[in-house]
């Protein structure tokens, strides 16, 4: 029996870097982050503009409206979260350690920026911008990543297509709902919540055999352009 690998502590995903040539936009998003963390999801565009040392029309010029700013913040924060979840799913850990590591990665992310998380998941009453549903596409991608990991790593026999899809979405929804409650109520330390959620998953997943590692083929290199192709 192999010795279980220690569960690695999750690093909090950092916001993705803005595209090259847009340092001013990155500064404005930094200002928005600070204000939202300080004042919560209801932070106004006026306050964000003042934090950035600009007028509100300049802020609108960069993002169009509040919905545009929310969209930019969503891209910024979910890119790091998705990368971290993918990395956690690919770690060469014992299965229980990997389950805990993936859950901890998500909880660490929402714990580090609770007000931003609330902005992206909880609609404000009468908010016409769509804020509060902004995290939904990223959660769908996380569910797809978990589904793919189950398909590649766990032998579920003939039920694999159905169970992997079902588990991917169910695990994502479970951790989302439990994480939301945990962040609001703080009934226990994060490590205890990770353990509680992993215990719930530790049924058939623990008993299923592991599949052999799959080496994905490298992407084909583009063909060299010939002189004839250029004419």
Give residue-wise pLDDT tens across range 101-139. 999 999 999 999 898 888 878 766 555 555 556 778 888
**Cβ 127 vs Cβ 139: under 8 Å:** no
**Cβ 193 vs Cβ 178: under 8 Å:** yes
- For 66, the token pair is 């509040």
For the residues 198-212, what does the mean pLDDT come to?
Answer: 83
Which comes out higher in pLDDT, residue 143 or 218?
143
pLDDT of residue 136: 81
Q: Which domains, from first to last, does the chain contain?
A: 23-64 (1.10.10.60), 75-210 (1.10.357)
Per-residue pLDDT tens for 145-184? Answer: 999 999 998 898 999 999 999 999 999 999 999 999 999 9
Chain center to CA of 128: 24
Could you say which DSSP state residue 122 is in?
S
Cβ neighbours, 10 Å, residue 161: 11
pLDDT of residue 71: 83
Is the pLDDT confidence value at 229 over 90? no
The helix/strand count (H/E) of the chain reads as: 11, 2
pLDDT of residue 73: 86
Q: How confident is the model at residue 220 (pLDDT cuts 50, 70, 90)?
A: low
For the residues 39-46, what does the mean pLDDT come to?
Answer: 88
Output the DSSP codes for 53-105: TS-HHHHHHHHSSHHHHHHHHHHHHHHHHHHHHHHHHHS---HHHHHHHHHHH
Q: How confident is the model at residue 5 (pLDDT cuts 50, 70, 90)?
A: very low
Handedness of CA 158, 161, 164, 170 (dihedral sign): negative
pLDDT of residue 1: 32
Per-residue pLDDT tens for 60-75? Answer: 999 998 888 888 888 8
pLDDT of residue 228: 46
For the residues 209-228, what does the mean pLDDT come to?
Answer: 62
Helices (H), 113-159: 114-121, 136-153
pLDDT of residue 17: 43
**Cβ 8 vs Cβ 93: under 8 Å:** yes
First to last CA, the chain: 63
pLDDT of residue 3: 39
For the residues 14-35, what does the mean pLDDT come to?
Answer: 71
Whole-model pTM: value is 0.74
Per-chain mean pLDDT for the chain: 81
For the residues 21-43, what does the mean pLDDT come to?
Answer: 85
Q: Which of 59-68, 97-106, 209-218 has the lowest mean pLDDT?
A: 209-218
């Amino acid at each position: 029996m192999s010795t279980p690998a220690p569960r690695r502590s999750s690093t909090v995903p950092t916001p993705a870097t803005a595209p090259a040539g847009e340092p001013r936009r990155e500064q404005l998003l930094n200002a928005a982050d600070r204000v939202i963390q300080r004042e919560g999801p209801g932070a106004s565009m006026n306050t964000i503009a003042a934090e950035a040392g600009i007028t509100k029309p300049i802020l609108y010029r960069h993002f169009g409206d509040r919905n545009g700013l929310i969209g930019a913040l969503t891209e910024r924060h979910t890119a790091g979260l998705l990368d971290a979840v993918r990395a956690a799913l690919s770690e060469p850990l014992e299965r229980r350690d990997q389950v805990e590591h993936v859950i901890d990665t998500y909880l660490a992310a929402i714990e580090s920026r609770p007000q931003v998380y609330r902005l992206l998941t909880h609609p404000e009453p009468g908010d016409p911008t769509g804020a509060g549903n902004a995290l939904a596409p990223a959660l769908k991608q996380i569910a797809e990543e978990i589904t793919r990991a189950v398909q590649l790593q766990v032998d579920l026999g003939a039920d694999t297509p159905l169970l992997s899809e079902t588990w991917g979405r169910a695990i994502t929804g479970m951790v989302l709902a439990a994480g939301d409650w945990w962040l609001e109520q703080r009934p226990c330390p994060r490590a205890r919540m990770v353990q509680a959620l992993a215990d719930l998953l530790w049924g058939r997943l623990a008993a299923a055999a592991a599949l052999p590692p799959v080496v994905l083929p490298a992407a084909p290199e583009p063909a060299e352009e010939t002189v004839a192709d250029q004419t």
